[in-house]
Amino acid sequence: MYIHPRSVADKIFDAWRSPGRFTKNPDIIRLKSGRLLLVYSDTEAHWGETTQILTILHSDDDGQTWDKLSEVATADRSKGDERLVTPRISLHSDDRIAVICDHDDFSHFHQDQPPGNWLWWSTDGGKSWDGPHKPNITGFEPDRIMELPDGRLAVCSHVMLRESQEFAEIMTTSTDGGKSWGNQVIVAHDGYHRFCEGALVILDGGQELACVMRENHSGGIPSFVTFSQDNGQTWSAPQMCPFALHRPYVKQLVDGRCMVTGRHVNGGLGCYAWIGDLKKEAGTYVIGGPRRKYSATLKDGALIIENEPEHECRYSLLPPQNRFSTVDFEVELKVEGPPGEPIAFMSCGSVDALLYIGADFMTLSEVQRTDLHKKADFSRPRKIAIRHKGGLLRVQLDGEDLISRNVFRGESNISDFRGARPDMRTMFGQWGNAGTSNWIAVSFSSKNRVLEDWSWRWSAASGDYPDQYQRNRMVQIHANHPDQKPYPDHGYSSWLTLPDGRIILVDYTNCDDIAGKSHLVGVHLEPEDIA
């Protein structure tokens, strides 16, 4: 398991278990009385095929212990009910409590499909619920229902647009307290990025809105943010965030910073938090670090990666747009280890390039084809480059072409959000379990037809790790082991600030559960944890 340099994983506690069940997607609010309410989906598996129960828990000790309060709704798949997916809960100024939940994405994801978000209301502190109401709120994975500064209610969700057949984040509003819904606007859409799971936050007491979104290609693509200065009527062009979090959950802290939590997908697996100024850091891309335990040190002007069993030291870069992109990927590297064994690698999934590097060779193929496999001495630092332009891929050693091949047009798959597939990522780092690689410098640049060009340069002489930003700024809430069976499931988090300044955060995880089950976890964050 990878333990991040800034981790509070040791403070995590079990908040709730439902024996033999898969409990997921908790969301939390605080009533005026001080009582905490939490809604979650109680089912038998992540994509349950029997029953889903939207369940309300309550806590009167700031989240230390929880008890069941009520059930909002039940879906029985055997009777033809649609699956309940991700509930969100919100407290409104008139003391009403709202729960919104989406249904099967296959039935309600496309903009030409009927709305699949249902609403329930409570006027007695969550003990009983009126609903379901079936409002005209289209899309999937709705955010909390928010009260905008102009008095309207708003909720963000995402749909597939018929014109582009791509994701778009949308916002739907109500002018009558949630009785009717309409005036749908597009928050983010560019025909390439898969914007989804948007989280709305009101900044600086209502002067501005921001929407933080997941990008569903993943593969090294970060989260995005967009801003509105007219209560959501219009939105700025989406900008990259210096983090990559699925199902982001965001609020503004008392000190003006925003905290965003969610499932980390560009580094170590688990639930992470980013804390900072969204406005100042929008448009920043940062390098993703290792996703599991690793052995890497900065020493003698190099990043020294020691390949060991079950270690994995890989750094993710922003992928080029597609196979029409021009790419220059250069490293200065020394490799030590047994002959014939791959020890290091460079990959650019978008242009179908994965270069294996050993102590005495480099190759673009796992099969030792003479045209793609070249002997070379890496016992001293050598400069290696992968260059692509117009469908011609060249591999250079110390400035001379050694390998070339054609890259045909067509889409390439970069949807590996888990970070386990270098062939789907733009990456460099460790391959295999033997030997040592010494990385002295790395540079990467891409020129794209539609997306913005991007470049990055790093040198070990700087004294920083390639992922230094993440090491300094990201906080690991809890970790998950990438070898879990089934695969790790986590990161649909929620949190709020308590009167004493602490933060109570809830999430779910299947770490240490029996196969196919999960439980809810909690943590109390002190101010120093997020300083």
Tens of pLDDT along the chain (531 residues)?
788 999 999 999 999 999 999 999 999 999 999 999 999 999 999 999 999 999 999 999 999 999 999 999 999 999 999 999 999 999 999 999 999 999 998 899 999 999 999 999 999 999 999 999 999 999 999 999 999 999 999 999 999 999 888 899 999 999 999 999 989 999 999 989 999 999 999 999 999 999 999 999 889 999 999 999 999 999 999 999 999 999 999 999 999 999 999 999 999 999 999 999 999 999 999 999 998 889 999 999 999 999 999 899 999 999 999 999 999 999 999 999 999 999 999 999 999 999 999 999 999 987 778 889 999 999 999 999 999 999 999 999 999 999 999 999 876 667 788 888 999 999 999 999 999 999 999 999 999 999 999 999 999 999 999 999 999 999 999 998 888 888 899 999 999 999 999 999 999 999 989 989 999 999 999 999 999
pLDDT of residue 410: 78
Domains 9-289+472-530 and 296-465 equal at CATH topology level: no
Q: How far from chain centre, in Å, is Cα 73?
A: 29
pTM (2 d.p.): 0.97
What pLDDT score does 159 carry? 96
Q: Which helix (H) or strand (E) holds 278?
A: helix 278-281
* Cβ atoms within 10 Å, residue 59: 23
Q: Look at residue 483 in the predicted model and tell me its pLDDT.
A: 85
Q: How many of the other CB atoms lie within 10 Å of CB of 500?
A: 9
Contact 116, 102 (CB under 8 A): yes
Whether residue 159 contacts residue 167, with contact meaning beta carbons closer than 8 Å, is answered with yes
On the CB side of 399, CA atoms within 13 Å amount to 0
Domain locations in the chain as residue ranges: 9-289+472-530, 296-465
pLDDT at 218: 86
pLDDT, residue 411, reads 67
Q: Residue 225's closest CA among 207, 199, 255, 192?
A: 199
Q: DSSP labels for 462-525? A: GS--TTHHHHHHEEEEEE--TT-SSPP-B---EEEE-TTS-EEEEEEE-TTSPTT-BEEEEEEE
- What 3-state DSSP class applies to 163? coil
Q: Which CATH class is domain 296-465?
A: mainly beta
What's the confidence (pLDDT) of residue 366?
A: 73
pLDDT (0 to 100) of residue 416: 84
> In the CATH scheme, what is the code of domain 9-289+472-530?
2.120.10.10
Closest CA relative to residue 109, chosen from 155, 162, 154: 162
